Structure 1
Amino acid sequence: MSKKPIIVFEGIEGSGKSHHISVVSRYLNKKKISHIKIREPGGNPNSEKIRKLILNNKSNFNKNTDLLLYMAARSENIDIIKKSFNKKIILIDRFTDSTIAYQHYGMGVDINLIKTLNKYLLKNIDISFTFLNTVNQKNLKERLKMRKSLNRYDKFDISFYKKVQNGFLKLSKIKKKSIN
């Protein structure tokens, strides 16, 4: 295990990912520990442009276009990850599990396509730790109401979020079995 791990924070909207990654980043700053913090989609200027397109309320992409846009944003972040790999702690707000949970479990995109694209983009980059945040329906609704503005991913039906969160839970069980 690298002393400079890649740590990913996963979960649906309103589950506390961004809060937790900020807390960890502030702690690392306080301890003067070198790290980077990125988000997906987003994380660098090109990925942020793609993020605006994906999350825009006027966007209405089909599920395959949506997947490919997320992968394009990830492709832009891979250079940042590679430059910092084993040199700095890397904190990522959403990553490969989000793609599988949202695009496969939520939208029905072929999981083998997602895995193939991730394998191609990540090559030999392995995640050291993944923290999964979950949220119940009541808290999800309350947290979304508190947001100043909602993007198109904040406006899905509650059944969609349920499918996605269940997808995250399935992924965590699969990973737990592979560790044991």
Structure 2
Amino acid sequence: MNGMFITVEGPDGSGKTTQLNLLVEALNSKGYEVVVTREPGGTTVGNSIREVLLSPEHHEMTPRVEMMLYAASRAQNVDQIIRPALARGAVVLCDRFVDASIAYQGYGLQYDMDQIESLNEWATSGITPDVTFLFDLTPQRAQERMKDRGQLDRIESRDQAFHQRVYEGFHALLNKYPERMILIDADQSVECIHDEVLDATLERLKNRGVKL
């Protein structure tokens, strides 16, 4: 793989998607080929799976089914979007990846971690991010922000205890992968966060030798 794979993670309401879009604009302006995708979703197949996963109507969905649907969307995303883009040297930016499944299904739903990791190893064919920005925001602050969004989806509407476990899960991943994951204080201004993310990205691109 000649390109660079960057993911953004964090609690719902942490502002990660806003920062991803700003990073796309900045990298495009510097001449990089940037490919943007998301999870669940990113492809026609994945977007259909996303509708099922996030719909509040599917309250009966079991943790095992939820885990498999996320992995199915991820497998399509890797095969159709991520792997081909990396192979031609593009910078791939993905809104969530395997870390999200570990945090949300593993820690949040307390599903078997070994099964989650094994399934996702197969779904991704072993592809892992080069850099992951973890946007850090407490569940309490995230909930305050989410109130302004209106109706919450099936995952967002889970109780505070669930979101606290997810938060702790992301921090456990940060401790496990300190070289890959970069902690970003998501309670700063949008401009300050963008500057921090862009500087770190450009440094990693330079060190990796990804060319314009």
Tell me how far apart the structure 2 counterparts of residues 59 and 124 of structure 1 sit (CA, whole Å). 30
Q: Please point out which of 136, 139, 159 is paired with 2:138.
A: 136
* Aligned counterpart, 1:38: 37
Which region of structure 1 is more displaced relative to structure 2, 20-29 or 118-127?
Answer: 118-127
Deviation, structure 1 residue 3? 6.0
* Aligned counterpart, 1:154: 156
Instruction: Show CA shifts across 1:24-71 (max 9, x none).
Output: 011122223101111100101110000000000101201000001101
* Aligned counterpart, 1:83: 84
Tell me how far apart the structure 2 counterparts of residues 27 and 107 of structure 1 sit (CA, whole Å). 36
Gaps of 5+ in 2: 182-212
Q: TM-score, normalised by structure 1?
A: 0.93
Gaps of 5+ in 1: none
Tell me how far apart the structure 1 counterparts of residues 98 and 45 of structure 2 sit (CA, whole Å). 19
Deviation, structure 1 residue 178? 9.1
Tell me how far apart the structure 1 counterparts of residues 74 and 124 of structure 2 sit (CA, whole Å). 9
Instruction: Show CA shifts across 1:88-130 (max 9, x none).
Output: 1000100000000000101011111111111112224231001
* Aligned counterpart, 1:56: 55
Tell me how far apart the structure 2 counterparts of residues 128 and 177 of structure 1 sit (CA, whole Å). 9
C-alpha contact (below 8 Å) 2:11/2:139 kept by paired residues: no
Q: TM-score, normalised by structure 2?
A: 0.79
Tell me how far apart the structure 2 counterparts of residues 102 and 110 of structure 1 sit (CA, whole Å). 12
Deviation, structure 1 residue 169? 0.2
Give the RMSD, CA atoms, in angstroms. Answer: 1.8
- Give the percent of matched residue pairs that are identical in Structure 1 and Structure 2: 32
* Aligned counterpart, 2:74: 74
Q: Please point out which of 169, 172, 180 is paired with 2:171.
A: 169
Tell me how far apart the structure 2 counterparts of residues 4 and 178 of structure 1 sit (CA, whole Å). 16
* Aligned counterpart, 2:4: 5
Residue 39 of structure 2 aligns with an amino acid whose one-letter code is E
